[in-house]
Amino acid sequence: MVTGGAGFIGCHVVKRLIRKYPAVRVVVYDALTYAGNLANLADIEGQPGYVFVRGDITDAAAVERTMRNHDIDCIINLAAESHVDRSITDPLLFARTKVMGTLTLLYTASRVWEDDTGGKLFYHISTDEVYGSLGFGERPFTESTPYAPRSPYSASKASSDHFVRAFGETYGLPVVISNCSNNYGPYQFPEKLIPLVINNVGNNRPIPVYGTGENVRDWLYVEDHAAAIDLITDRGVPGETYNIGGGCELSNLGLVKMIISLTDRRLGRPKGASDGLVTFVRDRSGHDLRYAIDHSKITAELGWRPSTGLEEGLEKTVDWYIGNTGWLDNVTSGEYMEYYDRMYGGQ
């Protein structure tokens, strides 16, 4: 059961599992909130092994019913509110989904699997943001880096991680956690930086950049992340944590400039045509300076490493968004645009 399987990362994981393991039933359990979209899974509809269940992870009865009806032996938990800006405006929603939702999944799994945990796995996907903020020149996060969340988003995620570990220790639930860096690629909701820039360049809209754009992130192509999730599901050791990073650190401003250049080129525009769209806006509260991931553990123990460089991944991403304007138009209407205008319209 892949919770949040109709979302950005989830849809890539589900498609990989369906195509690679035709004998396995993959149940997508998703509430279809604004970022969950069945259009993300349209190309596997009707495939043997694919099942969709609309449900909320905070609904214990629905979770238990789904687990029992489909004889679930593995939960990959990707259901999450995922945008830091939204967590600042509505922290209670993030606590409900990430903390209470994860706790509900854990408690239900511990009850359903109570008599037999053999061959079972509860796999919780987390973020590098739980580790806090790095300074320039500091060593990347490792699995032993102490937690130091600095936003409601990362605090709610850190709390859910702690509950996962607690259920492993207290109830003997077979659990594993991975903490990933910033994902990007096709099907990402366009409130996130990379698709936002592509969309705004295409429509000649201002591109908001927080502060001076100096904040640094490590970028991970979503297909590489899906491959790591597949590997951890198959070979990860219960009780362990694995960091998953792309090895592609870049400042936000540097990233924005790369995307503008790639998008202009793909649209047949002169070099520098959209450079003037960059608009610096008031910095986000508690904006972490830098994230960086040391993924040497998963490389050494499971043999995974990122295979997609940043420029290659961005080229694939730009091409996908430009080639899928219908998908983009459908998700950039209504509530999303109202939210966008609230966040950036007055700056």
- Distances in Å between the Cα of 232 and the Cα atoms of 159, 161, 226, 227 are 22, 16, 10, 9
To which residue do tokens 């077979």 refer? 174
To the query of whether residue 45 is one of the catalytic residues in this protein, the response is no
- Residue 194, φ and ψ in degrees, nearest 5: -65, -55
SS3 17: helix
End-to-end CA distance of the chain: 42
Annotated active-site residue in 30, 56, 85, 129 = 129
- Distances in Å between the Cα of 254 and the Cα atoms of 44, 83, 97, 317 are 36, 21, 33, 17
A 10 A CB-CB count for 139 gives 9
To the query of whether residue 221 is one of the catalytic residues in this protein, the response is no
Annotated active-site residue in 29, 50, 153, 291 = 153
Distance of CA 41 to the CA centre of its chain: 16
Name residue 32's amino acid.
L
To which residue do tokens 């202009």 refer? 264
Asked if 213 and 250 count as a contact pair (C-beta separation under 8 A), the reply is: no
- Residue 98, φ and ψ in degrees, nearest 5: -80, -40
Annotated active-site residue in 56, 81, 85, 128 = 128
To the query of whether residue 129 is one of the catalytic residues in this protein, the response is yes
DSSP, residue by residue, 184-237: ESTT--TTSHHHHHHHHHHTT--EEEETTS--EEEEEEHHHHHHHHHHHHHHPP
**In the chain, what are the helix, strand and coil shares in percent, each to the nearest 5?**
45, 15, 35
Catalytic residues: 128-129, 153
